[in-house]
Amino acid sequence: MNKSEFVDLVKQVGEFETKKEAEKAISAFTLAVEKALAKKESIELVGFGKFEAVLQKGKEGTVPGTTKKYKTQDKFVPKFKAGKGLKDAVAVAKKGKK
């Protein structure tokens, strides 16, 4: 599903009057999540899931085919863990498609 299709779905499910309103709601949600994660705060939507920023440790390795070594820096990355309600809804949907 691309963004346009998702906006149509949000318009329908959220009963928005226009696609512009639905797109504004999506943009507001994604921007709010982005700002919270940038502050390293987690967002927990009970039944849906949890968004959080986690520390990914740096790695050491060698470039394939050479003897060159490299090391990456530690960094924070976004992580999403699905909640029980979302997992159950997806499982039911998958059973119905078979």
In 10 A of CB 36, how many CB atoms?
Answer: 15
What local confidence, expressed as pLDDT, does residue 52 receive?
97
pLDDT for position 95: 77
- The pLDDT of residue 73 is above 80: yes
- Per-residue CA distances from 46 to 35, 43, 51 (Å): 20, 10, 11
- The answer to whether residue 97 scores a pLDDT higher than 80 is no
Beta-sheet pairing, 49-56 with 69-71:
unpaired
Contact 59, 75 (CB under 8 A): no
Q: What is the mean pLDDT of the chain?
A: 93
At residue 90, does pLDDT exceed 60? yes
CA–chain centroid gap for 13, Å, is 20
Q: Taking residues 56-73, report their average pLDDT.
A: 92
